[in-house]
Each structure stands twice: as structure tokens, then as C-alpha cells.
Amino acid sequence: MPNGSSIEIQISIEAAGWPEPDVLEALCDRVIAAAASYLERYEKQPFPASGCELSLLFADDPAVRAINSRWRSQDKPTNVLSFPAAPVEPGQMPGRMLGDVLFAHETVAREAQAMDIPFDNHLIHLLVHGFLHLLGYDHIDDDDAEAMESLETRILAALDLSDPYENTSPA
């Protein structure tokens, strides 16, 4: 990150099918560092000089479904869930603890296959998506969705990935 701060990532793998731990850790480090760097440089997103902490949980559909049901009253698995440690608006200084992001393996794999893209490319997109939620970005209304998707697309382009929202309407 340009200002010398860092994001410490804690990874828990609680389901089969995910990349090997060292491969997954390297991927997450690269993606989160690139996203944070992009946000600092182009969106003027501040981060604590002492660094931040982020927790990533790589689970399966049943685990994510249970969490989604309990915390969001949606009894279904979803690709990614983000739980900010504290509310923050885009552009505001987050606290040292950013929060938790959870991924459901079967859903991520199914979506990647349906979109005919590599699993890792879809996971990279979801890492960026979940990270942005921790920083206050959302897609509840069309304007917010458009802004968040545009930002995701620009960060993914910096990672040499194509626009995942091409030919779609805002979520």
C-alpha cells in the first residue's frame, strides 16, 4: 500500500475444494493489497498507519447458508458474505479491525462454471467485492450498485481481469 500501512489477513479454510493454503494465502494477499492500493491511490481511501486486520473464511454452502439465515434472514447459500467490524462510509478511515468475509465453495464454483470463467478469476472478483463491503460500499439501490460495480471493475482491470458486469444491469 502506498502509505506503508498493511493489511494482515487471517485465513481459515473450513471446507474441501479450496486451493491449497499457501496458494490461497498468496492469492488473497495479492488481491487485497492491489485493491487497497487502488483505493488509496485513486479513491483517496485512508487506512490506519498501524495497519488493518481482515479475516477470510473459506467454507461450504451449508455453513454459509446457516450464517446467511441467522444474520440476514435468508435461508440460502450465497457466494460471499461480509461483516464489517464497525460501520464505515466509503472514504472514511476504518478501524484497525476491518471485519470478516466468508465464501461458499460450491456457490463460487457453480457461478464460475455458469459464467465460463476460471474459478480463481471469480474468487478474485468476490474478494474485491467482499473487501469493498467492509469499507462501506454497497449495492442496495441502483446508484450505489453502479458506483460499487464500477469501482470493482476498475480494481479488477488493475489485476488484469475483465469486467464481470459487462452486459448486465446493476445488482
In the structure, what pLDDT confidence band is assigned to residue 169 with cuts at 50, 70 and 90? Answer: low
Enter the pTM of the model: 0.94
133 is known to lie in a ligand binding site: yes
Question: Which CATH number fits the domain that encloses residue 107?
Answer: 3.40.390.30
Q: Look at the chain and report how many structural domains it folds into.
A: 1
Spatial strand order of the sheet with 97-104 comes to 7-13, 52-59, 97-104, 80-84
- Can you tell me the distance from the alpha carbon of 119 to that of 78, in angstroms, rounded to the nearest whole number? 16
139 is known to lie in a ligand binding site: yes
Per-residue pLDDT of 67-105, as tens digits, reads 999 999 999 999 999 999 999 999 999 999 999 999 999
Domain of residue 79 covers 7-158
The reply to whether 120 falls in a domain is yes
pLDDT at 5 over 90: no
